[in-house]
Copies of this chain bind each other. A is one copy, B any other.
């Protein structure tokens, strides 16, 4: 472990705080990172909840006012694991206090809300990063290597899905600790900002900018009880969203996300069809990459199912031995490894706030198109 410590102030203690805390705890066990993260302070409005989280993960301090964490000179990094509507205020304050800032995705509810965040971190010159963790799944990182190698040739098609089924039951409430993602005020949108944001982040990274979109959204359950107040309220989010697009490189995109696809828990998939080769991946078997190379000898050509667990494949040299897979949690370890290295070498790891702003722009265009019934330019 490096002797240089990096003191983390964690804002929020829900599911994402757990993934990040696990990553900070373990990154130096597996990678030679330039800083050793220290779990310094965890903050939640509910102090009891924060204390329980601190006990579990070994945070040294507990706080219920995030402004105090931001103001604490012992803190080097503010990590924002809050509902989307709270990202901006905390991030801007953290930047102004000169802290490095990590935000959960999406950066904000809208591009308009995200822009001042980008301005703040850039003005302050602080390291900044958005947790689009799927870039650091080894199979996804391998896909990026293949794309960058030029093996695919000219790209014709990009398609991605993110299918879940957890809100089919109309009794699932909206708002509150576990279900803020169904509350439009907190989340900004439904599957678009939650799930399609992941798809779009990967798509831009792998295939370049999106030019324009035509979209369709639906809210299948029109009213849900508010988990905090117990009052039935109209549902403001999109339960499902699907869109078509043109990429700047001339390829066509097809995206779909829903929380109403019975049988799929978190089926995040992408497929890219190029002139010479194609790749596809899905989160349900995250350690495999499917690769078809038309350059293979004709009669024995086929989709290769690559078990991404060899030492020469991304990240895997630091884990176990060939054939032994890692899981979802490890993607966060990888992303903080990249972030820490970026901090040390001055070449910031992507996606920065600025990178993530572009994803917010595409999400905005998608929702605008769904609302207007028109093609919308990003």
Contact = CB atoms under 8 A, between A and B. Distances in A.
A275 B168 contact: yes
B1 A142 contact: no
B266 A324 contact: yes
A260 B157 contact: yes
Given A284-B323, A329-B319, A303 B240 contact: no
Given A214-B214, A324-B328, A328-B320, A292 B263 contact: yes
B310 A304 contact: no
A22 to B, nearest CB: 7
A358 interface: no
Nearest to A296: B304
Interface string A273-292: 11111100001111111011
Contacts of A307: 265, 284, 302
Contacts of A163: 273
A242 B216 CA distance: 13
A158 to B, nearest CB: 11
A325 B286 contact: yes
A265 B28 contact: no
Interface stretch (A196-204, A250-258, A342-350): A250-258
A275 B262 contact: yes
Contacts of A146: 300
A179 interface: no
B244 A214 contact: yes
A25 B19 contact: no
A41 interface: no
Interface residues of A, number: 94
A25 B29 CA distance: 10
A377 to B, nearest CB: 11
A317 to B, nearest CB: 11
A327 interface: yes
Interface string A1-40: 1000000000000010001011001101100000000000
A326 interface: yes
A205 interface: no
Contacts of A164: 323
A361 interface: no
A159 B61 CA distance: 50
B252 A240 contact: yes
The count of identical subunits is: 4
A274 to B, nearest CB: 6
A264 B216 contact: no
Contact of A242 (B145, B252, B293): B252
Contact of A310 (B25, B215, B265, B323): B265
Given A29-B57, A242-B252, A291-B300, A261 B157 contact: yes
Instruction: Kindly name the residue among A28, A283, A300, A310 whose own CB sees the greatest number of chain B CB atoms within 10 A.
Output: A300
A249 interface: no
Given A263-B292, A275-B262, A303-B305, A326 B323 contact: no
A216 B252 contact: yes
B260 A273 contact: yes
A110 B168 CA distance: 39
A309 interface: yes
Interface of A: 1, 15, 19, 21-22, 25-26, 28-29, 55-58, 142, 145-146, 156-157, 159, 163-166, 168, 214-216, 218, 220, 240, 242-246, 252, 254, 256, 258, 260-267, 273-278, 283-289, 291-294, 296, 298-307, 309-310, 312-313, 319-330, 373-375
Which 3 A-B pairs rank lowest in CB-CB distance, beginning with the nearest?
A266-B323, A265-B323, A263-B292
